[in-house]
Structure 1
């Protein structure tokens, strides 16, 4: 199976097979972190770009009163820092929500690649654009969507992002995070998350069995949560029918 990092960047540029080999070598896993462990603690020096190879991770802020806000969710194929410039130190910790395998990519290696390869340069800038728009939509959800709309929007977005890296089965995908994690992403209590899950289930929009989440009515869920996939800049068309989970690239 192709590396998730390569699968993701294909949506941002027309990579050659040689480009993909280079990117795969760049993203070799170098460390594993157990669930709930810090991949990079707050305040540590920043010399590498963390890349998630397996598992789910997050960037978070912990307030003095013990409350946590998850700033970003990271899935396989995601760089956890912008590729252009690294801060001198990590002002927010990066943690594993599940067992994680990560690559720590030297910024110098990426810099050399993008200077000499226009296709890889385009792919990295696209990746930065997508990461930025995801953060902006997260702010919109926190400020203007109801609890149920926030949850529905997150599920639609995760389905799209996971499909880009080949980690969905039609309209179903693995949802390994807890309701408490979802609450910390969405600015909700666990009670509110549970109520929103029940509402989405009762209306037939989703089903959840164990860790497997199925979007039973993708178009209905998108309509409910005001989800428009254009902000992910994929240049691809997604179909809502369960048997049509395949990504179609109109450039082909």
Structure 2
């Protein structure tokens, strides 16, 4: 039952053994694997299931008529790709795999049944949606007000902390399987501009990028340079498992 979905939800509320078991069973009934750059759902499609990321990276994105793409969210293990489908009937954006991904597919009816029998699970899912909204707001601030260096530095801080929250960092390092094109599509920068800013971040000793691994030697320093405050991630929520004797 130690999977990133449970770790993610336990960051928001304490779950009992039975609740974790029920969620783990629901998430294991239908597992879908996609290759890198494959679409999970496209805008206008009628979704039947909620997708949860078990492994790999995905994104939410919008594409303009001329092919320009705006990434509006990065999705890492433990994230719920499309919780809004519980309320909406049609996709208003697309979901795509950035790397090979493994997804748990839970029907809307199945997820509703889980949340109806477990107020704590329902509370945790509501928190994931609220935090996703907070992240979206912060990205809007980056696009409108932060400099190019601040945008990329801010994004690196966010991704590192999100991965650390689900146990997917190694000291001050984490996986970063994103291309410069992906970073540009998320931050509104050209590939050339992304490359220049990455060189500045490297030369300043703020980051180390080797292959698909990002290392942040001094997180506090990068946060300061990027005007980053983790408040919007709500990582200080009380979580953890209930004791065995608790309901």
TM-score, with structure 1 as normaliser? 0.90
* Structure 2 residue ranges without an equivalent (≥5): 241-247
Equivalent residue runs for 1:20-59 within 5 Å: 20-28=20-28, 29-59=30-60
**Greater shift in the superposed pair: 27-36 or 188-197:** 27-36
Distance 2:85 2:34 in 1: 25
Distance 2:17 2:195 in 1: 45
Distance 2:190 2:76 in 1: 23
* Structure 1 residue ranges without an equivalent (≥5): 238-247
- Higher RCO (C-alpha under 8 Å, 6+ residues apart): 2
Deviation at 1:134, TM superposition (A): 0.7
What residue is the counterpart of 1:166 in the other structure? 167
What residue is the counterpart of 2:17 in the other structure? 17
CA separation of 1:42/1:64 partners in 2, compared to 1, >3 Å: closer, same or farther?
Answer: same
Equivalent residue runs for 1:113-152 within 5 Å: 113-152=114-153
Does the Cα contact within 8 Å between 2:23 and 2:114 map onto a contact in 1? Answer: no
What residue is the counterpart of 2:186 in the other structure? 185
CA RMSD after TM alignment = 1.9
Does the Cα contact within 8 Å between 1:83 and 1:107 map onto a contact in 2? Answer: no
Distance 1:215 1:147 in 2: 18
CA separation of 1:59/1:221 partners in 2, compared to 1, >3 Å: closer, same or farther?
Answer: same
Equivalent residue runs for 1:24-103 within 5 Å: 24-28=24-28, 29-82=30-83, 85-103=86-104
**Greater shift in the superposed pair: 191-200 or 38-47:** 38-47
TM-superposition CA deviations, 1:133-182 (whole Å, max 9, x none): 11110111111111110000000000111011111001100111101011
**Greater shift in the superposed pair: 3-12 or 26-35:** 26-35
Distance 2:79 2:224 in 1: 27
TM-superposition CA deviations, 1:31-68 (whole Å, max 9, x none): 11111111112222111111111110111111122211
TM-score, with structure 2 as normaliser? 0.92
